[in-house]
Amino acid sequence: MASSILPFTLPSLSSFNPSQRPYLFHLRGAVPQSQNFGLKASRLLRQDDNCLNVMASGNLSYAVTQENVLNWVKQDNRRMLHVVYRVGNLDRTIRFYAECLGMKVLRRRDMPEQRYTNVFLGYGQEHAHFVIELTYNYGIDSYEFGNGFGHFGLAVDDVSRTVDIVRVKGGKITREPGPVRGRSSVSALIEDPDGYTFELLERPPSPEPLCQVMLRVGDLNRSIKFYEKACGMELLYMRDNPESKSTIAMMGYGPEDKNTVLQLTYNYGVTEYDIGDAYAQIAIGTNDVYRTAEAIKLAGGTVTREPGPVPGINTKITACVDPDGWKTVFVDNVDFLRDCGN
């Protein structure tokens, strides 16, 4: 079957920087662009119905297709690592998560020169579990939520008991325990001190208690395609809810009962959302942030941070936004494990 030709621009010799590591995709793997240089300046550009080949003296040929990119992304070692959001009072939020939800502080990172602090919390060590990364920016005590962020899903063995604990501790319950619409399971909604919503889901013991991140999107098919191609996620299932006039799509890197998933929610007729500045991003592990950035671009995504080390931390990352503006950061797996060890 013929595939469409992707737009492709050859870098100029004068602009080449040997310290950069952009990648092109070949049928046999990824080859650094730096190998293009040293060829004669004249090149013949040839197109056929399957790929775009760059031919040059030296018998070097690159085949760039959407299929190649998607295959590499699917084979990459990816996992949802943590979700990042901003809070106005670290001590207050940590106390609520520990006393009401049973989370533990895993590590803390103070960045005084950049004027922020990160605290990681969860139900297991970061190298094997999805966790929360709280960000406190010095001197900022509140943020705008907008109307795009939905909730975090939290699997618990007894929703009513958890709600009682939240109530005793002075927490806010926005929906009392009750059956999930159309199913027999029980859920409830609570808010943390900053206003983030958690949906408590009554489930058997799960390896990932922090099990969902829900975001609202304006075009569900467009978003599914982005997360499949740019992020390498799998569409686990879709569910239409005519009564609530919404459709959800569950995306992830494995079965919902064993992995944290991304829940995309489309509300009938709503095509745009205000994403605010409270929720920040999801972090995903990758074996190569440089190839990841190239794959995002070739899949039609927008890279907002070119791949490379973060100043002061030296962890290699790259970042992108989806069609609705939701941000994803990809983190080098080796660097991530080193950070966890520290």
Binding positions for Zn(2+) are: 133, 151, 199
Q: Which residues contact 253 (CB under 8 A, 6 or more apart)?
A: 78, 79, 80, 232, 233, 234, 259
Q: Which residues contact 313 (CB under 8 A, 6 or more apart)?
A: 109, 339
Binding residues: 133, 151, 199
Edge to edge, the sheet with strand 63-64 lists 44-47, 52-55, 63-64
Check residue 157 and report its DSSP letter: S
| Whether 199 is catalytic | yes
324-327 long-range Cβ contacts below 8 angstroms, 24+ apart: 324/148, 324/215, 324/216, 324/217, 324/218, 324/223, 324/272, 324/273, 324/275, 325/148, 325/275, 326/148, 326/215, 326/217, 326/275, 326/281, 327/280, 327/281, 327/282
Check residue 3 and report its DSSP letter: -
Please identify which of the residues 199, 202, 208, 256 carries the catalytic annotation. Answer: 199
Three-state DSSP at 10 gives coil
For the chain, give percent helix, strand, coil, nearest 5. 20, 40, 40
Residues identified as active-site: 199
